[in-house]
Structure 1
Amino acid sequence: MNRTSSRRGFLKLSLGSLIGITIGNQLLVKPARAEDLPHLTSDDPQAKALKYVEQAPDSEKHCGNCALLQGNEGDEWRPCALFPGKAVNVNGWCSAWAKKP
């Protein structure tokens, strides 16, 4: 067999497999939604380290207007870049608060 056709066959098979795996994963894996995430509590070690509270002491600085907050506007509990896998209360606050631009 010609080396060139062997390489082509290998590349075609590899590309086809990669496409199949990618499409299969997209059909089987459901993205995490904020409502599926456990709520961050103040007794969580990282929350303690960043002094997280569910009710902000300052009405001007809260998770709802923090640059690190993610997720859908209007949701009461949303993901935060600092607490992966957990949802924070939009009325909460932590010492890493950064004003949303």
Structure 2
Amino acid sequence: MKSSRRSFLITSIGVASTLALSRQAFADAPKAAESDPTSQALGYKLDATKVDKAKFAKYAAGQDCSNCTFYQGKATDAFAPCPMFGGKQVAGKGWCSAYNKKA
């Protein structure tokens, strides 16, 4: 019994450490710049209110990265990774043409 409890604790500590390191790696990921080629191709803006509505007719007020299905952070996070940008962090208040409303 003691052996299985010890194994469980060791495994739990290992998993917790891995999760903490993963979160730190996300936090250290570079931020996507509007000048990046991917950002330019997707029309990414750090501030969704500055999207060129004539060029990106799909944009609607209220759409921003923090409520997109691709945003890998909490809605309250200022920046979080996005797979559309190769894991680079995007602004929660940002927007790009890959926007897809979170269910």
Structure 1, residues 5-63: CA drift from partner, whole Å, max 9, x if none? xxxxxxxxxxxxxxxxxx8xx87xx4253320111110000000000000002541100
Taking the aligned partners of 1:73 and 1:91, their CA distance within structure 2 comes to 10
Residue 48 of structure 1 is matched in structure 2 by 40
Please give the residue correspondences for 1:16-31 in structure 2 after superposition, counting only pairs within 5 Å.
Answer: 30-31=21-22
Residue 66 of structure 2 is matched in structure 1 by 64
* Per-residue deviation, 1:85: 3.2
Match of 1:93 among 84, 89, 95: 95
Taking the aligned partners of 2:35 and 2:47, their CA distance within structure 1 comes to 14
Give 1 or 2 for the bigger CA radius of gyration. 1
Percent identical across equivalent pairs?
36
Greater mean alpha carbon deviation, residues 81-90 or residues 32-41:
32-41
* Per-residue deviation, 1:73: 4.1
Task: With the length of structure 2 as denominator, give the TM-score of the two structures.
Answer: 0.63
Taking the aligned partners of 1:85 and 1:93, their CA distance within structure 2 comes to 15
What are the ranges of 5 or more consecutive residues in structure 1 without an aligned counterpart? 1-22
What are the ranges of 5 or more consecutive residues in structure 2 without an aligned counterpart? 1-13, 50-59
Task: With the length of structure 1 as denominator, give the TM-score of the two structures.
Answer: 0.64
SS at match of 1:33: helix
Contact 2:67 2:101 in 1 (8 A): yes
Q: Give the number of the structure whose residues are more often helix, by fraction.
A: 2
Number of residue-to-residue matches in the alignment: 75
